[in-house]
Chains A and B, each alone.
Chain A
Amino acid sequence: MAPPLRNIVFHIVKGCNLKCKVCYGLFWSDKKQLMNFQIYKKSIDEAYSLGLQSIRLSGYGEPSLHPELKKMILYAKNKKLYIRIYTNLLMHRDLLWFVINNADLLSVHVNAFSKNLFLESQVRADEAASKSFELFARNIAEIRNTKNLDLIFVINNRNILDLHKVVYFCLNTKMRLQVNIPIVKNNAVKYICFSSEELKEIKRELIGLYIKTCHARRYDLAFQIKKVLFAEKEEVEEGKSVLIKKEKPKRCPTPQYSCYIGPYGDVYPLAPYQEMAPLGNISKTPLYDMWNSADLASIRDEMWFNFDINKWKICKNCPFDRINNKFIVQRSRRRAKTGQ
């Protein structure tokens, strides 16, 4: 018997209002795809009987571009689900406050904290990009003291210069921070290379930041800085290296409690699903059948008991650091044993 489906990640939009050079998906290059509200509603209704507790509204892109976002949030809220939304904060003030007041957690993806670096990170540093930065700066200043916020900062060789600004911002606002080490060998690899001198200088700055956060008793921030300090480096070209995660995943609990639903209702067991066949489509097959299918059961077993990173090529590009989430790992391990 399959374990309960606790979480669904809805990719309600494929498309973005930013054009970041470092984006691993280059979502802006595709035509925008939007999830139909009926697909969303059907997914939640069916998953509710499977034990759904939380949803994540993200996108392969920016979820606030969806014209029915408010409706989607309210529907999930009425079902008493935990709602987490990923955004780049480029939205109007009324939508922003609606999201803040109704979602349980808003995770803000930050590319850069200074205008120069923000513009530099964009494919076209034109007036539109400049306005985007102003909107971002205004919004983040406005919501800085709200409680249900965290910042996600994916470092690259340029925005790492902004890391101290982000850390100071979090120090002053009690905001949480998650620093992600970039994905190796993706399409943005040339933007995440460091020379050894650059790395040395960066490490010096980070040591200073680490001590300051420790003195301020913000050990959560100190832990994030430590992640960057202790990342390993891998040489990608002569004299240039990229930072990589130290721990390689040994198992993945994701398919045991979660699934991903794309804008057209295709259901996937794993996040980076570009190269993966869907389990089915929500408008054609009941979610119960997909969640209890033999295909998914074998994926669950393989990813938990015989996980081979070389076989699961898509996992090499996984942007999530699941293995460090010990709570999920322990919980899923217990489920894998007991089937409950």
Chain B
Amino acid sequence: MRKENLLDKRIVVNEQLVDWKLIDQEVVFLHNKEKVFYELNRTATYIWLKANGKKPIREIIKGLITKFLINKDKAKKDTIEFISGAIKNKIFLLV
């Protein structure tokens, strides 16, 4: 999928595949098939919590830039990389 198309999509966490919990403001999730734990950093946690199907990815990136005061291009690049990786592994679902 092209980057520009992806930015307008909305995403949700695939609750069938992962179980997760917010611990000390960071998400920890368990991949039920791989049987592996993943700990997310603060920025990935922000994206994870916003992945509720309400806002498109473009809006999530905007919020990320405002909250963490990071470079716009870097935020966009990293977010798309993270989200597309998660979609590929079926951790996020497009809605």
Residues of A within 8 A of B (CB): 200, 203-205, 207-208, 210-212, 229-230
Prevailing SS type, chain B contact patch: strand
In chain B, what residue has the closest Cβ to A203?
B19
Contact A204 B23 (CB under 8 A): no
Contact A207 B20 (CB under 8 A): yes
Contact with A along B7-22 (1 / 0, CB 8 A): 0000000010001110
With a cutoff of 8 Å between Cβ atoms, the chain A residues found around residue B80 in the complex are: none
Contact B21 A207 (CB under 8 A): yes
Residues of B within 8 A of A (CB): 15, 19-21, 23, 28-30, 35, 37, 39
Say yes or no: A210-B19 contact (C-beta < 8 A), given A203-B30, A229-B30. Answer: no
Give 4 closest A-B pairs by Cβ, nearest first: A203-B19, A207-B21, A204-B21, A208-B21
Contact B35 A230 (CB under 8 A): yes
Tell me the bound Cα distance from A208 to B30 in angstroms: 11
Say yes or no: A200-B19 contact (C-beta < 8 A), given A207-B28, A229-B30. Answer: yes
Further pairs besides A205-B21, A207-B20, A208-B21: 8, Cβ < 8 Å:
A200-B15, A204-B19, A204-B20, A204-B21, A207-B21, A210-B37, A211-B21, A211-B39
Contact of B23 among A200, A203, A208, A230 (CB under 8 A): A208
Minimum Cβ distance to chain A for residue B44 (Å):
16
With a cutoff of 8 Å between Cβ atoms, the chain A residues found around residue B29 in the complex are: 207
